[in-house]
Amino acid sequence: MWLPAFAQAAIQRDDGHETYVAIRITGSVPINLTAMILSRVPGCTFDAWFPEYTLPERDWLPAEQVWSNMMGPKAASQLLDDMF
């Protein structure tokens, strides 16, 4: 039985003006869904995604995966300007 997957993004800019993005995917994930989600994040090099193994604020949920990457400055600026 497949349960729907849910993806959530978190974006953080640090003092050095780098912008990091994390994608959290929960639920059943069919083959290639993770790659499809990560490939659609603007300003991120596809082969630079890093799988996270711990979360600082809580334990992992069942069927959860988290990936992080650095976002290019142009995409980050456009995205953050649209948000605020």
* Residue 23 near residue 6, CB atoms below 8 Å: no
Residue 6 is predicted with a pLDDT of 73
Structural domain count of the chain: 1
Q: Which residue has the higher pLDDT, 70 or 5?
A: 70
Q: What is the pLDDT of residue 1?
A: 43
The CATH number of whichever domain residue 24 belongs to comes to: 3.30.1360
| Residue 66 reports pLDDT greater than 80 | yes
pLDDT of residue 12: 78
Closest listed residue to residue 62, CA positions, set 24, 22, 26, 23: 26
Do residues 71 and 19 make contact, with C-beta atoms less than 8 angstroms apart?
yes
Cα–Cα distance measured from residue 34 to residue 7, given in angstroms and rounded to the nearest whole number? 9
67-78: average pLDDT:
88
User: What is the pTM (predicted TM-score) of this model?
Assistant: 0.79
- The answer as to whether 1 is a domain residue is no
Give the domain range for residue 74: 6-83
